[in-house]
Amino acid sequence: MRVIADLHLHSRFSRATSADMNISGLSRWAKRKGLDLLGTGDFTHPQWFRELLSHLRPAGEGIYEHEGTRFLFTAEVAAVWNHAGKTRRVHFLLLAPSAEEAARIARELSFFGNLSADGRPTLGVRAEDLVEAVRAASPRAAIIPAHAWTPWWSIFGSNSGFDSLEEALGWAQPEVFALETGLSSDPPMNWRLSALDRVSLVSFSDAHSPTRLGREACVFALPELSYSAVVEAIRTKDPRRFLFTVEFFPEEGKYHYDGHRSCGVVFPPAETRRHGGRCPVCGNPLTVGVMHRVEELADRPPGAQPEGAIPFRSLAPLLEIIAQVLGQEPETQAVLRQYLKVVDHFGSEFAVLLDVPSSEVERAFPRLGRALEKVRRGELSIRPGYDGVYGEIRIPLAEDSPELPLF
């Protein structure tokens, strides 16, 4: 069975998150997206955990169901500690084998911080101690460094991270078998570090609103849908079970390039070095982005691919493609109406992005089909994101016949 999974997301109890990130909203949008498995997000938050228990029903080993959508208990926590004279801030994604073990993990973590303050709690704990506490509560739980390259709150971040997994995780390094690449990097960027060959590279949305679900995901082929099957597919990097990851174009991520948002300055790494790491407008330090950090730590050239690497597919979200076709912003009601029309016609967003031939899409929605084919071929221009500003994808549509209907 093919399983498209998005296991990193947040409930409405996390800061800066949509009120629609409730169980019904998640279930409804999972169907629209074509997601077979969602993380619950935020299981450490007491109120959200109670809601999960009241709405979800067991549907297999470690799997729960609401209105036809399957869930697996997940959470993200922020660990803060001092190391080598510097404050470190790293986010970790947690996968729990069951609701009962999620509850035990939350009890252990409550000793390090206030779990009620935020759906993604800030804990005063070293990475080694976090791993030890989670493992003591649930030996089969998975601990995954989240969005590993973003400048803040990540294991390799330029502002508060480390230069290696060994330095960050200490004795617990062998216990971590996967790394979330984040929106601003993709597998080829991570393949440039030979030290990452031993871990699986996973991709999830980190969604704060329902429309963002599935913008990154993992695609599996599993004999059954269970916690063990999902985690073992990731752990073993078995290409028969872990088929590929769905990726944002990394340039579109908020921290791909270096820059200074206040001054509108965006630089590739070489230009940042030429300016001594300073903004040429105001003189303040530039925010060093993901591409720069990858180049700093890489021991392989661009284009290197390690043996056994899991494939990937770079896609643009359907809302963004439709917005380009209509010449509007993705958040507008006109774009949403057309999105729902397309999804209703083909069954789901992932059906359109992954499965339906672009010629078939073109027969039903002429200009959308042409735009989709260009995205699949990578015929795009992208203005890279920087310092918290998303990049912008442009699909060349000017040569399309103006008499073609939009939809």
Matching residue, tokens 């300016």? 275
How far is it, in rounded angstroms, from Cα 274 to Cα 272?
5
Would you call 104 helix, strand, or coil by DSSP?
helix
**H/E run at residue 366:** helix 366-377
How far is it, in rounded angstroms, from Cα 363 to Cα 340?
17
| Contact indicator for 388, 382 with CB cutoff of 8 Å | no
Which two structure tokens, joined as six digits, stand for 314?
């770079």
Query: Which DSSP string corresponds to 145-211?
Result: E-STTSSSSSTT-TTT--SSHHHHHGGGGGG--EEE--TT--HHHHTT-GGGTTSEEE----BSSGG
pLDDT for the residue 372:
96
Query: pLDDT band for position 407 (50/70/90)?
Result: low
Nearest to 42 by CA among 77, 67, 66: 77
pLDDT in tens, 203-242: 999 999 999 999 999 999 999 999 999 999 999 999 999 9
CB-neighbour burial class of residue 151 (10 A; exposed 0-12, middle 13-18, buried 19+): buried
Alpha carbon separation from 272 to 52, 157, 277, 285 (Å, rounded): 46, 16, 5, 10
pLDDT in tens, 295-336: 999 999 999 999 999 999 999 999 999 999 999 999 999 999
Which residues neighbour 18 within 8 Å (Cβ) at sequence distance 6 or greater? 12, 25, 208, 209, 210
What average pLDDT does this structure show over 354-378? Answer: 96
How far is it, in rounded angstroms, from Cα 168 to Cα 83?
9
How far is it, in rounded angstroms, from Cα 396 to Cα 373?
11
Query: pLDDT band for position 403 (50/70/90)?
Result: low
**In the 8-state DSSP scheme, what is residue 1?**
-
Which residues neighbour 108 within 8 Å (Cβ) at sequence distance 6 or greater? 133, 134, 136, 137
What average pLDDT does this structure show over 334-345? Answer: 98
Kindly report the pTM of this predicted structure: 0.96
Query: Which DSSP string corresponds to 313-349?
Result: EE---HHHHHHHHHTS-TTSHHHHHHHHHHHHHHSSH
How far is it, in rounded angstroms, from Cα 97 to Cα 94?
10
pLDDT in tens, 58-67: 999 999 999 9
Alpha carbon separation from 100 to 62, 73, 141, 145, 188 (Å, rounded): 10, 10, 12, 23, 38
Nearest to 142 by CA among 198, 204, 70, 92: 92
What average pLDDT does this structure show over 55-78? Answer: 98
What is the average pLDDT value for the chain, to the nearest integer?
Answer: 96
pLDDT in tens, 8-53: 999 999 999 999 999 999 999 999 999 999 999 999 999 999 999 9
pLDDT in tens, 175-195: 999 999 999 999 999 999 999
Determine if residue 68 is left, alpha or beta; phi over 0 gives left, psi from -120 to 50 gives alpha, anything else beta: left
pLDDT for the residue 261:
97
The percent of residues above 70 in pLDDT, for the chain, comes to 98
Residue-range domains of the chain with CATH: 2-251 (3.20.20.140), 316-394 (no CATH)
How far is it, in rounded angstroms, from Cα 69 to Cα 9?
15
Length of the chain: 407
How far is it, in rounded angstroms, from Cα 107 to Cα 112?
10
pLDDT for the residue 354:
97
Hey, how many other C-beta atoms are within 10 angstroms of the C-beta on 406? 13
Hey, how many other C-beta atoms are within 10 angstroms of the C-beta on 405? 8
Cα 24 from chain centre: 21
**Model confidence at 269: pLDDT above 90:** yes
